[in-house]
Structures are given as structure tokens and as C-alpha cells.
Chain A
Amino acid sequence: DVKVTQSSRYLVKRTGEKVFLECVQDMDHENMFWYRQDPGLGLRLIYFSYDVKMKEKGDIPEGYSVSREKKERFSLILESASTNQTSMYLCASGASYSGNTIYFGEGSWLTVV
């Protein structure tokens, strides 16, 4: 089975802290994604990557950056966490060919206090 693993299920961080959310996939997928999910707003795409060291902004990239140094790992970085970044963060991965399946991790619940 495809596995997308997010490093932390629950985190509590202080305002202004630098936060790293890590995601690892074991299927040699080229594409990886970071979403956040908020009540009433649904899932919104933050960033995605289609290859090592390659990235593209999604719909809400402000306040976030990403890193893809290895194919299997995609990191989401909050340079200076703020309370409005309290959310559930979801990582996903998929192969590069059209019509492939995209798989999601279980999510990371981040609370910024």
C-alpha cells in the first residue's frame, strides 16, 4: 500500500516560532502537495512540488515556504508562526502521469498560541 507519512499528528507552537512539518512518501512519486483545511473553507492548496528542488505556489502560499531536497520528502515551513496558521495540514503525493492517483497523509493538527 502507498504510504504518505506526516511526522507529527499534533503540535502546539508559540507565535513567532519557526515550524517544520515533514512529509515522507514511499512510492517514488514525483508530485507532492501541501494543503491546509479549515472549517467552512475546505482544503486549500499551499504549495506543490513536481520534482526535487522544484516548487510552485498554490492558492495560499503567503506565510509558508517549502523544501524538497529528496524525492521522498516534502517539508512545509512556517518561518514565523502566527495564530491564523492554526489549522490541519495535509500532505499528498502522486505520480507525474496524467490520471494517476493522489494519496493523502493522515494530517497534522497545528495549534499556534
Chain B
Amino acid sequence: DAKTTQPPSMDCAEGRAANLPCNHSTISGNEYVYWYRQIHSQGPQYIIHGLKNNETNEMASLIITEDRKSSTLILPHATLRDTAVYYCIVRVLSGNTGKLIFGQGTTLQVKP
């Protein structure tokens, strides 16, 4: 079962910041939070990931609460091309590797 909970859909105006929330209240101390997005008919695209510190890259920022039970992905200036399904994933450690267990994601619609 997925270890994350996300709203099924969100809207955002073009040019504004998109803030996508995610709850992961059962996360373990050594499990990372990952964000991917998927545009229809394509493979998931990696966005960002983090353990406990906030992270920023050229695509987005990831804010993780101090208790690590929730996080927010921020797209600072959303464009129409950011319309996609966004997945928040806790990478579950299993044996020799870590699996990505996907939930249902949030469909972000960026509107002009």
C-alpha cells in the first residue's frame, strides 16, 4: 500500500506558484520522500527528493516538515506545460534496494 496521501486534483493559475501537499505520517527515519510527475502517455519524470532538509533544484522546491509527516512540492512559476499528475512517494527500503510505491497522485491543472 502507498504510504502517502495526496489531494486528487488541484488548479493553479499560470505564472503563480503551485503548492502540492502530501501526507506521509508513517514514514520511517531512513525513508526518503520523492516527487515525480507524469504527463499523459509518458514515463514518470523525476522532480526532486529529500530526507529531512528542504531541497531546491531548477524545477521545484521541496519543503519537509520537521516531524517529517508531511511535505509540500512548490513549482514557483507554474506554466501550462506543468499540467500533469504529480506523485509523492516514500521510498520503502526492502532488502537490497528501495522500492517506489506509487499512490494515486494529484492531477494539477494549470490554467491560463
> Which of B32, B44, B45, B93 neighbours the largest number of chain A CB atoms within 10 Å of its CB?
B44
Q: What is the chain B residue whose CB lies nearest that of A106?
A: B43
Name the interface size band of chain A: 20 to 34
Give chain A nearest CB distance to B76 CB in angstroms. Answer: 21
Could you tell me which residues of chain B, from 54 to 77, have a CB within 8 Å of some CB in chain A? none
With a CB–CB cut-off of 8 A, which chain B residues contact A35? 102
Contact status A104-B44, CB under 8 Å: yes
Question: With A42-B105, A48-B97 as given contacts, are A101 and B41 in contact (CB-CB < 8 Å)?
Answer: no
Seed contacts A45-B101, A48-B97; 5 additional CB < 8 Å A-B pairs: A30-B97, A43-B102, A45-B100, A50-B97, A101-B46
A-B contact pairs, 25 of them (CB 8 A): A4-B43, A31-B97, A33-B100, A42-B104, A42-B105, A43-B87, A45-B99, A48-B99, A50-B97, A51-B96, A56-B97, A92-B44, A92-B100, A96-B97, A99-B49, A101-B49, A102-B34, A102-B91, A104-B44, A104-B46, A105-B43, A106-B43, A107-B41, A107-B42, A107-B43
Residues of B within 8 A of A (CB): 2, 30, 32, 34, 36, 41-46, 49, 51, 87, 91, 93-105
Residues of A within 8 A of B (CB): 4, 30-31, 33, 35, 42-45, 48, 50-51, 54, 56, 58, 88, 90, 92, 96, 98-99, 101-107
